[in-house]
Structure 1
Amino acid sequence: MTRLVVVAHGTRQLLGNAVASIIAKRAGRALGMESKAAYVELCEPLLTDVLADGHPSVVVPLLLSTGYHIKVDLPQAAEGLPVTMGSALGPDPLLASAQVSRLVAAGAAPGGPVVLVAAGSNDPDARADIAAAGLLLEQAWGGPVRVATVSGSGAPPLDQVVRPGDAVSPYLLAPGFFSDLVRSRSSAAGAETVADVIGPHPDVIELVVRRASALLAEVGGGQAQVG
């Protein structure tokens, strides 16, 4: 039987890596199939090690934007194996919905100004993804959304975008180095509210289930093929 593998970037923070594990378990339960969490780097098990056993798998990346990992690392890890590989998780309306939920939980004023802060990337496709994520959040939030990055790659750095009174929505799936920077720099810039990372929100689980179901449909729900 084909299994589900979700793959996150990986972080040195245990809580950050736990997000992928939680998502894998909940999505696998919803799909009624075996599921595993894996990581690109910084945490075990690495995706290359998980896939090396040759078990037919559908892989759903827990990466929010297209970039080097999506284009190079993940396809290389799956090369020659019975694996169907999905695309980046974002942008997607379900991620925007989850961000709205986190903003509300943090006490952000409905419809007030929000800054979406992504990690940042030099890849043009990633930049387009981040911009699209900002538009989706603006539609879901019903108020103005500006886009910034931690690194300043792909959008202005958050220090130049966040204004006093803004709410900040980290476009990050798990806590870690980047989320710590978002919180500290946003607070220093005068942000009124900094929402939690997206995390294993029910909308994220639903998105992973949908992506996995689409991949399973490609292989007829049985023996996977290289995708």
Structure 2
Amino acid sequence: MHLTTPLLLVAHGTRDPAGPREIERIADAAARELDVPVHVAYVDVIGPTVAEAMREIGGPAVVLPAFLAAGYHVRTDLPEQLGDAEAVVCPPLGPAPEIADAMLEQLSRAGWRPGDRVLFSAAGSSDERALDDVGEAAQLLGRRCGQWLRPSYVTTARPLTADCCPAAGRAFVAPYLLAPGLFHQRLRELPVTGVADPIGAHPKVIDLVVRRYRAAVGQDRSAA
């Protein structure tokens, strides 16, 4: 791979048009920073598929899973969909310090102040390895907001965020979600003081994409 190798961002996919728009914003910002073509594909729900995107690229690519934990889609779906394509696959976006920095800023924008309770909320998964990643992400954010955070989930895993809302006092939800969609909408309906925006195309996320890409290219060149 070379520093001009295209980057393929692979996300989950959602029928909510706000989700793909946010992924495209991340792709556009990364393309400006890296000065390389950045493509987008989805493992589920919508297209283009990974195979379609790789055919469009027509050669080697750096593939970055735009996921916040290494669950089933990252460990199984993505490798199967890549098949024999020539690609270097990066670690997923999260957990990472840059993601925690972005979440803290989103919390502050939502009105959170030091001392207010934080509910760390992820999408949920039945994959224990993914849940381990979520636990690490909660620790990273907890160190930044000065409190121990126990992960909670919108669905699938336990405890559910809906069951963790306090009866009194100021509490804010920190969504461990990259883009808007049904899960974030559910969180916005909870009886809490505020719900932060999804992580989105935050500058720290773009920094992380750039770091993941450059590390992948450097690793591939050193192995050649």
Equivalent residue for 1:177, pick from 172, 182, 199: 182
Q: Give the match for residue 62 of structure 2.
A: 58
Instruction: Give the TM-score of the pair, scaled to structure 2.
Output: 0.92
Whether 1:18 aligns to 2:56 is no
Q: What SS does the aligned partner of 2:151 have?
A: strand
The 1-side partners of 2:162 and 2:26 are apart by: 32
Q: Give the match for residue 87 of structure 2.
A: 83
The answer to whether the 8 A contact 1:134-1:147 is kept is yes
**Shift of residue 152, structure 1, vs aligned partner:** 4.3
Equivalent residue for 1:125, pick from 102, 118, 129: 129
The 2-side partners of 1:69 and 1:98 are apart by: 24
The 2-side partners of 1:49 and 1:216 are apart by: 23
The 2-side partners of 1:123 and 1:131 are apart by: 13
Equivalent residue for 2:162, pick from 147, 159, 162: 159
Q: Which amino acid aligns with 1:207?
A: L
The answer to whether the 8 A contact 2:65-2:90 is kept is yes
Q: What SS does the aligned partner of 1:81 have?
A: coil
Q: Which amino acid aligns with 1:97?
A: D
**Shift of residue 143, structure 1, vs aligned partner:** 2.9
The answer to whether the 8 A contact 2:121-2:161 is kept is yes
The answer to whether the 8 A contact 1:6-1:62 is kept is yes
Q: Give the match for residue 29 of structure 1.
A: 32
The answer to whether the 8 A contact 1:112-1:167 is kept is yes
Q: What SS does the aligned partner of 1:33 have?
A: coil
Equivalent residue for 1:6, pick from 3, 6, 9: 9
Whether 1:105 aligns to 2:102 is no
The 2-side partners of 1:55 and 1:18 are apart by: 26
**Aligned ranges 1:204-223 → 2 under 5 Å:** 204-220=205-221
Q: Give the match for residue 197 of structure 2.
A: 196
The 1-side partners of 2:121 and 2:160 are apart by: 9
The 2-side partners of 1:126 and 1:73 are apart by: 14
Q: Which amino acid aligns with 1:73?
A: D
Aligned residues: 218
The 1-side partners of 2:21 and 2:50 are apart by: 15
Q: What SS does the aligned partner of 1:146 have?
A: coil
CA RMSD, Structure 1 to Structure 2 (Å) = 1.8
The answer to whether the 8 A contact 1:111-1:144 is kept is no
The 1-side partners of 2:25 and 2:220 are apart by: 25
Unaligned runs of 5+ in 1: none
**Shift of residue 42, structure 1, vs aligned partner:** 2.0
The answer to whether the 8 A contact 2:135-2:150 is kept is no
The answer to whether the 8 A contact 1:8-1:63 is kept is yes
Unaligned runs of 5+ in 2: none
The 1-side partners of 2:40 and 2:141 are apart by: 27
The 1-side partners of 2:26 and 2:221 are apart by: 23
Q: What SS does the aligned partner of 2:108 have?
A: helix
Q: Give the match for residue 141 of structure 1.
A: 145
